Chains A and B, each alone.
Chain A
């Protein structure tokens, strides 16, 4: 099936769950900022969780589908358009996704998955490196993407239990584990509220709040960082590194956002607020185990509801 982008939207890119194995070469893992939403979107249309889909930012595209198919929208919300459930589209149907009414990023999965050449093992778009996805760039007006062949139908009317969704919010409290240099800073950051500044993107969110003063002045050798790492540069304003962040960093590491709360960060817009709450590593791992169980149950629950024709 072909998807024509009459309007590409503000920043629409092809993403999957990212590329593994190339961080040592300086290539970020990349992939969907809200990986959970992308996985669920794929499950909802009968795809493998890691199939390529569209990541839509703030202002969505206007699309025309060449054939009948099944799509799903997850993550941020587009007003009245249904999210978190499969939608049947007809041949020639036009879908006009305007501005997101909630959240920062939405995911559009299509039955079969978006078909693009895989680079370094992934369909994700590395914007800075200029490779992957749709030619290493965001979608433009007039672009056409194909999907892999999949003729599926959705049976019955049903919906996802909202209780399994992440606790999306415009002012979330995000769980973190301590970073290596946490004790070089006063504890007050645990009580503080930070605002997301406009200087935020897929590489990371720059936060504005009470300046975090470092108690020591030692120079740090650069070391590996991870998506979710919260660094504090000399100006004391924390940066939460995300999917496309550089792989090496030399700033003090205050804390790391736990994996299950990365979706909360991914949905923050400039102007939104965020607080942090420290949990221990065992708790962070328990949260991952629970999330995987929930997705497993969702997978089972969906089996039989989306059928190949």
Chain B
């Protein structure tokens, strides 16, 4: 593991190659451990791919001769070391991560590009649906927009380039494919992805205590639902 400053108000913990195999689950787990440590002046802990970044207020770490960064680093290194020992030991029986199932109404007016994706993959639309919803994905990062998940695990045959002309408005809940990535637009936004369906679930709600429904390290699967089920969803 390596540590580095990110500007004067953040610190990055970087996973090296040795953690690679379980890196996706580890990053989210370390972030939870660091949050639980409730280090003074630390306002945000952000996991993403192979890094965990802590945002801190240097004023909370001014003490004697030690610089704020060095003092925080010492505390973070301690928490990380303890976490790592626990992680190594429990690896064999470690849980795969929280599982989130996202209901999706594929195609119809919710997925106008499903036909294009199918044509590109030389599959039928039904086969695209089966393979997209049959795969298991992992959340590697949350960003781009509130609640937006970067998912890894899209079956290779479903990879489809982004649309040459992005749409100015993609409805909230839209499930899309962009290159080798698949994901869900939590809010209405412009977008260049291929739109294959829509979920009635709210992936982001500013009024919830936990506004983002997905987190780094989550295992995600998609489940096909009918148009009637979509409309009836509460």
Contacts and interface: CB of A to CB of B under 8 A. Distances in A.
Determine if chain A interacts with chain B: yes
A119 B206 contact: yes
B143 A222 contact: yes
Interface centre among A119, A126, A224 (most CB of B within 10 A): A224
Interface residues of B, number: 46
Contact of B148 (A26, A120, A131, A249): A26
Nearest to A288: B58
Nearest to B59: A292
B7 to A, nearest CB: 3
Contact of A26 (B4, B6, B8, B212): B212
B148 to A, nearest CB: 6
B48 A129 contact: no
A26 B144 contact: yes
A286 B222 CA distance: 50
A221 interface: yes
Contacts of A281: 5, 8, 67, 69
Contacts, number: 146
Interface stretch (A5-13, A77-85, A252-260): A252-260
Contact of A22 (B10, B44, B186): B44
A180 B4 contact: yes
A130 interface: yes
A177 B7 contact: yes
Contacts of B9: 226, 228, 259
B8 A284 contact: yes
B48 A223 contact: yes
B106 interface: no
Interface in B45-92: 45-51, 53, 55, 58-59, 62, 67-69
Nearest to B149: A26
B146 A285 contact: no
Contact of B44 (A21, A128, A130, A258): A21
Contacts of A29: 43-44, 55
Contacts of A253: 6
Contact of B46 (A224, A257, A285, A292): A224
Interface string B20-50: 0000000000010000000000011111111
Nearest to B215: A24
Given A221-B50, A246-B145, A226 B67 contact: no
A164 interface: no
Nearest to A131: B206
A177 B7 CA distance: 6
Nearest to A18: B43
A23 interface: yes
A29 B44 CA distance: 9
Given A25-B212, A119-B207, A120-B211, A258 B12 contact: no
A135 to B, nearest CB: 12
A22 B211 contact: yes
B143 A246 contact: yes
B171 to A, nearest CB: 14
B47 A24 contact: yes
Nearest to B51: A223
A131 B215 CA distance: 21
Contacts of A225: 6
Given A129-B146, A129-B187, A222 B7 contact: no
Nearest to B69: A281
Interface string A199-236: 00000000000000000000001111110110000000
A140 to B, nearest CB: 20
Nearest to B142: A26
Interface string A12-46: 00000000111111110100000000000000000
- What 6 A-B pairs have minimum CB-CB distances, sorted nearest first? A248-B143, A256-B7, A25-B212, A224-B53, A284-B8, A20-B43
Interface of A: 20-27, 29, 119-120, 126, 128-132, 177, 179-180, 221-226, 228-229, 246-249, 253, 256-259, 281-282, 284-285, 288-289, 292
Interface of B: 4-10, 12, 31, 43-51, 53, 55, 58-59, 62, 67-69, 141-148, 150, 186-187, 189, 204, 206-207, 210-212, 215-216
25 contacts: A21-B43, A21-B44, A22-B44, A24-B44, A24-B47, A24-B215, A25-B146, A25-B212, A26-B143, A27-B146, A27-B206, A120-B211, A126-B206, A129-B146, A131-B206, A179-B7, A180-B4, A221-B51, A224-B51, A228-B9, A247-B143, A282-B67, A285-B62, A288-B8, A288-B58
Given A25-B204, A259-B8, 12 more contacts: A23-B55, A26-B147, A126-B146, A222-B143, A223-B50, A224-B10, A224-B51, A247-B46, A248-B141, A256-B8, A281-B69, A285-B69
